[in-house]
Amino acid sequence: MKELQTLKTDLKKTRIVTQQLGNDIDENQVLLKVERFSFTANNVTYGVAGDAIGYWQFFPPTENLNNEWGCIPMWGFAEVVSSNNDDIKNGERIFGYFPPANNLLVNPIKISPQSFVDGKEHRKELPPVYNNYVRLNGEENYDSSMDNVRALLFPLHITAFCLCDALEEQAYEGASQVIIISASSKTGIGLAQGLADNADSPKIVGLTSRNNTNFLEGLGCYDEVISYDQLEKINNQDLSVMVDMSGNQEILSSIQDSLGNNMVKCLTVGMTHWNKGGTVEDALAEAELQDRTEFFFAPSHIQKRNSDWGVEGYNKRTSIFMSKRAEQSREWMQIKEISGLDKFIQTYQEIVSGDIKPNEGIIVLP
C-alpha cells in the first residue's frame, strides 16, 4: 500500500510511504481499495486546521513515531476487496472519506442497505458526517457517470447548502449585500449559486484575484465581482455579511476596517489563502474575540438540521440543492484525472501553494 503523507508543520512537504498489507483482516473488518478521490482547496483547509479541528485524527499515518506527519482526508470512491463482515460483500462500491492512499481498513457498524459507519475507536468522537460511508448498491437513482462531480462537489456544496440555509434562517442578518471572499473557490461558487436561487437574497458580491474576475463574471451568479487589488470598490455604506473562504487575515482586516459597524456578521469558513498570513488559530481566535465574527462548521449545522427536519427531510433538501449545483457545474468545470500518487505530488504542491485554476477539478486515481 502507498500512502501520501504531509508534514503537519509545512503542508508543502510530503512523502510517500509504502507498506506491505497482510492477507488477514480481523472479524467484521472490511478492506477497501480506494478507486479515486478529489483534491480541492477544501482539502488544504483540512490540513491547515488539522490540529485545531481534528482532521489529522481520521487516518493515522504509518511510520510516524514522532507524530510529525499526517494524512489529509479526501472525498472519493472505493471498492470492497476483502470482507470479513457478513453484511458487506466483496465488489461493493462505497462513497465517503478516505486517506490519500491505495487502501483503507474499516470496522463497519450501524450497517443499513444504504450506508455504514466506521466504528474504529479513534474515530468515535469525530463528527459523524465524516465517519459515514454510502453503499452505492443501495442508493436510489445512483449514476456512476457523476462520480467525479460528486467527489469534487459533494463536500463543498454541502457546506454551501449549510451556509445558504443558515443565512436565510437569520434573514441575512438584515444585510443588503453578502460579500464572499475567495469567490472563485468551488464552495464560494456553490454558495453564490444557492443564494442566487432565492429571489429574496441580498446582493451577492464576489472577491477574487484579478486573473479570475472574467471567469466569475461569466458564471452569472454574482451581482458584482471585485478583484483584491480594487477593494475600495466595495460599497461600505451598506449593511454587509461577509463569508470568508480565504483565511487571508490581511484582506479580511482591510474589509472589516472599511465596513466598520456596517459589517453585521462575518462567517469564517475556509483557508484557501492559508499561506498569505495568519493561521487557523488566528482565525479561530478572531472569531472568539469579535461578537460579529464566528467560525462556521458545517457538520454542526448538519446535525442541527437532521434534528429539525429528520434525516429524510434533510436529505430531500440537500438533494435538490446538490442536483442544481451539479448540473450547473457542467457549464464551467473541467475535470483533470491524475493516475498515481507519485504523479499527483506536483499538482498537490501547486494547489497547496495557491496555484488553483478555478474551472479545474482534480481527480486522483491512486
The pLDDT tens digits of the residues spanning 134-189 come to 999 999 889 999 999 999 999 899 999 999 999 999 999 999 999 999 999 999 99
Chain-wide mean pLDDT for the chain?
A: 91
**Would you state the pLDDT for residue 293?**
84
Per cent of the chain over pLDDT 90 is 79
**Would you state the pLDDT for residue 288?**
44
Q: Check whether 282 has a pLDDT greater than 80.
A: no
Q: Check whether 38 has a pLDDT greater than 50.
A: yes
The domains found in the chain, sorted by start residue, are 2-142+333-365 (3.90.180.10), 156-299 (3.40.50.720)
The pLDDT tens digits of the residues spanning 285-301 come to 444 445 688 889 898 99
Q: In what order do the strands lie in the sheet with 293-295?
A: 224-227, 203-208, 177-181, 240-244, 263-268, 293-295
Dump the DSSP string for 188-202. HHHHHHHHHH-TTS-
Q: What is the mean pLDDT of residues 264-287?
A: 60
- Write down the number of H helices and E strands in the chain: 10, 18
For residue 192, what pLDDT band results from cuts at 50, 70 and 90?
A: very high
Other Cβ atoms less than 10 A from the Cβ of 119: the count is 15
- Distance, first Cα to last Cα, the chain: 10
Q: Check whether 268 has a pLDDT greater than 70.
A: yes
For residue 80, what pLDDT band results from cuts at 50, 70 and 90?
A: very high
